[in-house]
Amino acid sequence: MDLHLELAVGDGRRAGLERALRDAVRDGRLAPGERLPATRRLASELGISRNTVKAAYDQLVAEGYLTARQGAGTQVASLPSPDAEAANGAARTREPRFDLRPGSPDVGAFPAAAWLRALRRAIATAPSLAYDYGDPRGRIELRTALSGYLGRARGVIAPPERIVITSGYVQGLALLTRVLEGGAVAMEDPGLPFHREVVRRNGGAVAPVRVDERGVCAEELGDCAAVVVTPAHQYPTGVTLHPERRRALGDWARARGGLIVEDDYDGEFRYDRQPVGALQGMAPGQVVYLGTASKTLGPALRLGWMVLPPHLVDAVADAKLHSDHHTESIGQLALAELIDSHAYDRHVRACRLRYRRRRDQLLDRLGARRRMRGIAAGLHALVEVDDEARVLARAAEAGLAVGHLGEHWHTPGGGAGRPQGLVVGYGTPRERAYPEALEVLGKVLDGA
């Protein structure tokens, strides 16, 4: 290893070396377990004698900064840090014992073996230019694979030249907001506050649009430049957009020149029948379709996609170019291979069965006593309660983390007369932890 040290030799070379190594360990520049260079090599690099280096190592071993074992060389010791211990304690305090928060899949189900096979095949066949700067729209291999997959699985009209690969949904939403240049963006009420903040921070003005039992109320859109909707499984209410509302959205967009931004949230996970096709297939010239691998594979991959009307492709690609140039290429190639080999389809089907079982367990535990909405699809359900604050307090006492409807309204708390409920995510827990988490949820709701 290369080791950068600045020796202050005013008190002698050995003392200077000891001080430099000691400071590097204390500052964290030399991490616990890091192996130090051999004494002969470090002496040669620093222009001092090997005996001086050996004496400095021995002194720091005696002080506990370093460890030395036969055959293992000299390594940095693990030192207790008051700040680190305090941070670890705070993290343990914040981490819930039972996690039913919505918004994440079961990351323990990530198809590691299939991903590794796809990655190996992708790297083995990738052209050398794949390791260079690329098209801001993304690798053509992934755009072509998505074109076929989205067409057959989600009913999306998606020619490869109209697809832009992003680093997740949030980047796609941010790029669109910039392209719209500050126009008002209607967003569902209730909806995810973080997405509203993304729009605001990228220059857009947010206008609330009401959601009822049939989905977003298209008749209330007015003169907004765009509307962001989650038609497959609205977050957080869980309703599916009614066919009449779908048609009304298309009519609004054509009449006003507005843009529909379709967040295909939970689109692949439908349990009562075949997944509802994407809204984009009805009006490809007025809809921007946004999808992501975050819920099917895992958020860590940071892979999403936009299917754009023709008139927006160049503007969004230019915004992407000046945002991060392009999304990393190797993951794109691996995902393309995963889709082309149909391993992605197999994984989605397996996840659909797993999450349906979890949904059924939730219904078995609560369905007879609580009204639940949004149970036909997705990774979360809305459990209605009379007093959110009281139930949340009991949940905190039990170590249970769960979402709630009040945090999703545009107006904090939602105002008087608004429904109240818990947003229960059943994708997040690991398989073995889920039954106990449901047991605790039941006791919290029962007031035990």
Q: pLDDT over 70 for what percent of the chain?
A: 95
Give the pLDDT band of residue 146 (cuts 50, 70, 90). Answer: very high
Cross-sheet strand order for the sheet of 163-166: 163-166, 304-307, 287-292, 259-263, 226-229, 184-189, 205-212, 215-216
What's the average model confidence in pLDDT over 59-81?
Answer: 84
pLDDT of residue 94: 62
pLDDT at 221 over 70: yes
More confident residue, 147 or 68: 147
Predicted confidence (pLDDT) per residue in 282-306, tens digit: 999 999 999 999 999 999 999 999 9
Q: Which CATH class is domain 98-108+345-446?
A: alpha beta
pLDDT of residue 202: 94
Q: In the Cβ-directed half-sphere of 230, how many Cα atoms lie within 13 Å?
A: 25
Residue 347 neighbours by CB distance under 10 Å:
18
pLDDT at 90 over 70: no
Question: CATH second-level architecture of 110-342?
Answer: 3-Layer(aba) Sandwich (3.40)
Give the pLDDT band of residue 414 (cuts 50, 70, 90). Answer: low
Q: How far is the C-alpha of 236 from the C-alpha of 233, rounded, in Å? A: 8
pLDDT at 79 over 90: no
pLDDT at 178 over 90: yes
What's the average model confidence in pLDDT over 83-95?
Answer: 53
pLDDT at 252 over 50: yes
Write the burial class of residue 369 (CB in 10 Å: 0-12 exposed, 13-18 middle, 19+ buried).
exposed
pLDDT of residue 266: 83
Collect all residues with Cβ–Cβ distance below 8 Å to 2 and sequence separation of at least 6: none
**If you average pLDDT over every residue of the chain, what do you get?**
90
What's the average model confidence in pLDDT over 240-255?
Answer: 93
What's the average model confidence in pLDDT over 89-107?
Answer: 77
Predicted confidence (pLDDT) per residue in 354-395, tens digit: 999 999 999 999 877 788 999 999 999 999 999 999 999 999
Overall fold of domain 13-76: Arc Repressor Mutant, subunit A (1.10.10)
pLDDT of residue 415: 59
C-alpha separations of 234 from 14, 227, 278, 367, 378 in Å: 67, 14, 13, 20, 9
Give the pLDDT band of residue 417 (cuts 50, 70, 90). Answer: confident
Q: How far is the C-alpha of 168 from the C-alpha of 172, rounded, in Å? A: 7
Domain residue spans of the chain: 13-76, 98-108+345-446, 110-342
Q: Look up residue 154 and give its two tokens.
A: 């989600």
Give the pLDDT band of residue 119 (cuts 50, 70, 90). Answer: very high
Give the pLDDT band of residue 86 (cuts 50, 70, 90). Answer: low
What's the average model confidence in pLDDT over 236-249?
Answer: 93
What's the average model confidence in pLDDT over 115-140?
Answer: 95
pLDDT of residue 92: 45
Give the pLDDT band of residue 82 (cuts 50, 70, 90). Answer: low
Give the pLDDT band of residue 91 (cuts 50, 70, 90). Answer: very low
